[in-house]
Structures are given as C-alpha cells and as structure tokens.
Structure 1
Amino acid sequence: MAVEVLLPKIGLTMQEGTIDEWLVPTGGTVAEGDALLRLATDKVDVDVEAEAGGLFHPVVPAGTTVPAGALIGWLLAEGEQPPGAAGAPDASAPMSTGDRLPVSPNARRVAAAADVDLTVVRGTGPGGRIVSEDVEEHVAALAALAAPLPGDLITPLPPGGASSSPLVRKLAKERGIDLSEVNGTGPGGRIRRADLEGVAPAAEEPAPARSGEVIPLTGMRGTIARRMHASLQEMAQLTHGYEVRMDAVVSLREQLKEEWADSDLPVPSVNDFLLKAAALALRDHPLLNATVREDGIHLLDDIHLGFAVAVPGGLMVPVIEDAVALSLTGIAGRSRALARAAREGRISPAQLEGATFTVTSLGGYGVDFFTPVINPGNVAILGVGRLRDGVEWAGDQPLRTRVLTLSLTFDHRAVDGAPAAEYLRTLGELLSKPLRLLV
C-alpha cells in the first residue's frame, strides 16, 4: 500500500521548507529510519528520516520550497504505481453514490478541465475540503512523475568525484569552490552544504549581492521578513541608548587570559560577560522577561537567553537555557558551542526555540548604536555596540576609559520607559564589578 511522504514540521514555528537534496534516487529502496532528504528550513538544515519502508518516488524536484505537511513523495511496494499515475489503483476507498466529496466549486471546474479524478486528490482545506490549489498541485505532481527523471533530483556519483545537490553546486560556484577538493560527509560521500564551510573560511559570509539580483522571500529570508514585519506591526517598540563603562571587564579578561593560559577553561568574551549580566539583571527586573498574551502580560519563571548569530543568508538565534544558573565560564562554553553549530549547519531546532530575552551584537562591525527589533513572543531585546575608547574627567585631567553603548528595545505595551532604564542601570552596575559575574 502506498505511503505518503509529507514535509515534516521541524520546530514550532516552521511554516515551509526547501528540499535541499534527495538522498535516495527515484525507485531506490528505503528502510524505516533511513535518511531520505536534506531539508532546509528558516532556522536549520536537517536530514529527514523515512517513517516507513518501500520504493521511493519523489513528487517534487530538489530545490522546491513547499509548506509543512505538503505531499513530497511516496513509498511504494514492489510493482506498485504512485496513486494517480497511469495504471495505478485508486488510493482512496471507493465512495458510494450516497457519499459527498467535500470539494469547492472552483476545484470541480479545474478538475473537470484537467480530467482529474477528485477521489485521488488530497484536500488541504477545512475538514479535508479539496480546493483548486490541491487540484493544481496534483496535476503538477502527475506531470513530474510522468516526465523523465530530472537529473537534478539526485546526481549519480561521477567517476573520481563526489555527488552533490543542485543547491550545493550553485553555492560552490558562487563561492569559487572546486567541489573535487571537498570531502563529502553525506551518504556515499555526497557533498552537503555544511561541507563547503570547511573548504573556504569566506563561506561563512553570504555571497555579495549583485545589482539587478532578485532575492526570493522564501526559507530563512522569508521567515525573517515575516517575523520582523509582524513584530513592528503588533508591538509598540521604543529603544533606550545607554553607555556603560567596561574598564573592569577588560581588566578582568586580561587577568583571566594570563592566569588560565595553561588551562582548558574558556576565557569569556566581552559578549559572554554581557550575556551573564543580562540574565542576572532580568532576575531583578522580571517585566523584561515576559510575554504578552490576550489575557495580559505573563512574567516568566525561567530565563532563557537567545543570542543572534550571523549565518549565510540570514540570522539564527541559539538559546542558552537557564542562563542564570550557569557560571560565566559555562555561558562562554555554551555560547561558543551553539554559535559554531549554527554556522556549520549542525544546530537542532530545539536549540533555537524558547528564548525569553535576546541579546544581539553589532560591535564587531563597528556599530555603536542601533535599534534591534524584538523577537515575537518577547517584550525586549538588548543590542550591544562597539567596545571603544571614552573620556572621563578627573578635575581638569582627561582619563581614558573603555565604554560601549547598549540599545534596549522594549514593548511599551508591557514595559514603561522608567523600568526599562532601571534594567539598563542594573546591567551597568553588574558590569562595573565583574567579579560577581564569575560565579
């Protein structure tokens, strides 16, 4: 009996995904648990395993973006045809003349024009109702199955070389990478997108935009666009700028570098100090660690810090769970591991969900002040600027200091200006005495 292969929903927020590559050729034998495809979502790329066994027949080619839950292939028994294909048995149970198939009038017209049997069409409307889009997708699927197998569905292993997907070949061309020099880590030595990262350090940066280029609002880029637009539409966002002294942090880091030179302890970065201080300050100012729902402002018990990581084509926000309970070195180790996993495409959906507050930094790009946009579900986000020289006057004498500017964007529906300012003041006090952050 034919088994549907549906695009899985990876994580709570996934709306659509792109089939990066099929890992099994058309007609190939699949066992339950075998890796079937490489899925690229708005947050992460993952291998998807087959939920059943059979002979695999894709419905859409690699590179296609489809909504979560969409039909993308079939697992068939030996000699069985995909439902709806020429000579294939009906996938649906026969309907008596008394049964009424839930179909929209427009879908009936489209089906009649295309000579489609509606009993084999999968409805996605309310209550399983078949809409015109379902018929159009069914027709497109039949055309794909009837056509000769496109070479880009899966590439055979060339003599002396490794196979790769169309997307990997496209990225390699854009980045000037010779695929014959790449060691593939996929099944049979197939080259995956993550394998390109180890070949050229520049692969961590997105390819430069070109004049006249059209960048589709799909996948990660489309999700970022939708969320940021929704965030600004649904919240009353304001931003406070606040300069903090970092002399004590800089001094302590230098001391730790010297004392820990022969140990395995990770020396915390400036951002690690900020992450720890941000978490402790949230404990004293719970209004900033909250979410707005229909029935009111919910102050959250747990403090889970998200921190922004730039990746090719967008941004990921890994989450450090229970950040208050971690030591500074614990936060340093966790942030580095998560950032590395995000850049290498190894991070899991679970590691990208559940943030109650986010920290994002543009200091490495020379930015002093900016207005970060709140991640939907949170009520605040902290932006971190460049560590720079400042001046303080001691009488008539100028003293060199080390400062940076914090940009706190908050939802005015939940937080007023004064509590937001008090949070920043607490943050500054914690950074002025960083020994308290080590525990």
Structure 2
Amino acid sequence: MAIPIVMPRLGDFMTEGIVTKFTKASGDNVSQGEVIAEIETEKVNYDLEATNSGVFHPVVHQGATVLVDDVMGYLLEEGETPPEPEEEPIKSWTAENTSQNVDSRRPKTSNTKGAAIPSTPGARKLAAKLGIDLVDILPTGPRGRVVESDVRSIAEEPSPSKPSLPPGLPRPISEIPLEGMRKTIAGHMKNSLANTAQLSY
C-alpha cells in the first residue's frame, strides 16, 4: 500500500514549506528513519525522515513550495505503482473564452488555409511575394474578393515591437521572489517600518 509523504506542520503558524533538496532519488529503497528530504520553512530548516520503509517516489520537484499536509511523494512496495492524482484540472474560463476570440479584421468564412479564397490575380501574386496568407485579409473588393489594396493595407500595418530605453537609463533588472526565512524577515522589516515612528523630537 502506498504511504503518502506529506509536508509536516512544524509550527502553529506554518502554512507551507519549501523542498530544498531530496536526499533520495526516485526508485531508491528507503528504510524507516532515513532522511529523505530537506525542508525550509519561515523559521527553521528541517530534515524529513521516512516514517516507513519502501521505494521512494517523489511527486514534486526540488525547490517546490508545498502547502502543509499536501503530498510530496510516496513510499511504495516493490512493483507498486503510485496512485493517480485525485484532483481534476480546473477549466479556465479565460482560456476557454479567449479561444473563441478572433481578429475583428478576419472575415467570418468557412475557408481555411489551403482553400480557395476569392481574390484577384494581382492580389494573390502580391500576397505570395510578401508572405501573407489570404485568409488573414479582410476583402473589400467586389463580391467579397481580396484586391491588391487589401494586401498592401496588411503589409503596411506596423508590427508590435518592444520599446527601446532612452540612452543613459539603466537596464531593467529581474525580480526574484522572496521565500522561506528571507520572506519572513522582509515582512517583519516592512511591518516595523509601517508601524514605528521614523522621526522623533
């Protein structure tokens, strides 16, 4: 029977911990009492020991932040397979609806790439030269045909580009999120700055 390895609660106010290192590789045989992972919390570093013997099978990667009582892995018997996750992925409303949004300039037609698009010979020749697909062009010609001016209007549209910084300004720096003890220390420093008078007379 698979024995779950969960994130232990190491303090009254602990909500999560970071798996800084697994001391055993997936598939290693583990004895009861052996250290299998190193855990970092807001206040302490902790060596997590195996509560039973078995084959080690982690389900999170090193450096992952795991909530208290959430499963980090399993201790399996020889030849046993780990249980399937019980949680089902939540359907994203944004992703579902975004897929239904289309470019307003694209005509609503059943044509797809490779199908014949009503167009003039000059428009087809110009589109092929510029590498533009006729499906992406809103036709304005007679009877819904794509004409050369339609192709040129697409080609002349400015392409989005990253704004360049004026000379002399420093380059943007990357931000690294705080974790573990550093996050706690930063929170205490912020509270001290906000709740303590900075000037006195």
Normalising by structure 2, we get a TM-score of 0.51
CA distance in 2, matches of 1:238, 1:216: 25
Q: Does 1:40 align with 2:40?
A: yes
CA distance in 2, matches of 1:218, 1:8: 17
The answer (yes or no) to whether the contact 1:35–1:50 under 8 Å persists in 2 is yes
CA distance in 1, matches of 2:196, 2:181: 26
Which residue is equivalent to 2:17? 17
Q: Does 1:218 align with 2:179?
A: yes
Task: Give the number of equivalent residue pairs.
Answer: 121
1:28-427 to 2 correspondence within 5 Å? 28-84=28-84, 120-121=85-86, 132=90, 212-226=173-187, 237-239=195-197
Gaps of 5+ in 2: 92-171
CA distance in 2, matches of 1:214, 1:42: 20
CA drift of 1:121 comes to 0.8
- For the residue of structure 2 that corresponds to 1:37, the secondary structure is strand
Amino acid at match of 2:184: T
- For the residue of structure 2 that corresponds to 1:38, the secondary structure is strand
CA distance in 2, matches of 1:36, 1:21: 9
CA shift in 2, pair 1:131/1:42, >3 Å:
same
Amino acid at match of 1:34: E
Which residue is equivalent to 2:6? 6
CA shift in 2, pair 1:232/1:67, >3 Å:
farther
CA distance in 2, matches of 1:16, 1:231: 24
Identity of matched residues, %:
38
Could you report, residue by residue, the CA deviation over 1:20-52 in whole angstroms, capped at 9, with x for unpaired residues? Answer: 111111111112211110112222222111122
Normalising by structure 1, we get a TM-score of 0.25
CA drift of 1:15 comes to 2.2
In terms of fraction of residues, the more helix-rich structure is: 1
CA shift in 2, pair 1:69/1:232, >3 Å:
farther
Moved more, 63-72 or 21-30: 63-72
The answer (yes or no) to whether the contact 1:16–1:219 under 8 Å persists in 2 is no
CA drift of 1:232 comes to 7.2
Amino acid at match of 2:174: E
Which residue is equivalent to 1:91? none
CA shift in 2, pair 1:10/1:33, >3 Å:
same
CA distance in 2, matches of 1:50, 1:5: 8
- For the residue of structure 2 that corresponds to 1:213, the secondary structure is coil
Amino acid at match of 2:177: P
The answer (yes or no) to whether the contact 1:59–1:72 under 8 Å persists in 2 is yes
The answer (yes or no) to whether the contact 1:28–1:55 under 8 Å persists in 2 is yes
CA drift of 1:229 comes to 5.3
Could you report, residue by residue, the CA deviation over 1:299-319 in whole angstroms, capped at 9, with x for unpaired residues? Answer: xxxxxxxxxxxxxxxxxxxxx
CA drift of 1:231 comes to 7.0
Amino acid at match of 2:41: T
Could you report, residue by residue, the CA deviation over 1:202-245 in whole angstroms, capped at 9, with x for unpaired residues? Answer: xxxxxxxxx71312132223333445556777xxx444xxxxxx
CA distance in 2, matches of 1:23, 1:41: 17
Tell which structure's C-alpha radius of gyration is larger.
2
The answer (yes or no) to whether the contact 1:16–1:68 under 8 Å persists in 2 is yes
CA shift in 2, pair 1:4/1:45, >3 Å:
same
Could you report, residue by residue, the CA deviation over 1:278-312 in whole angstroms, capped at 9, with x for unpaired residues? Answer: xxxxxxxxxxxxxxxxxxxxxxxxxxxxxxxxxxx
Instruction: Tell which has more relative contact order, 1 or 2 (C-alpha 8 A, sep 6+).
Output: 2
CA shift in 2, pair 1:30/1:232, >3 Å:
same
Amino acid at match of 1:14: M
- For the residue of structure 1 that corresponds to 2:185, the secondary structure is helix
CA drift of 1:132 comes to 3.4
- For the residue of structure 1 that corresponds to 2:181, the secondary structure is helix
Amino acid at match of 1:121: E
Amino acid at match of 2:185: I
Gaps of 5+ in 1: 85-119, 123-129, 134-210, 240-369, 372-406, 408-439
CA distance in 2, matches of 1:26, 1:8: 20
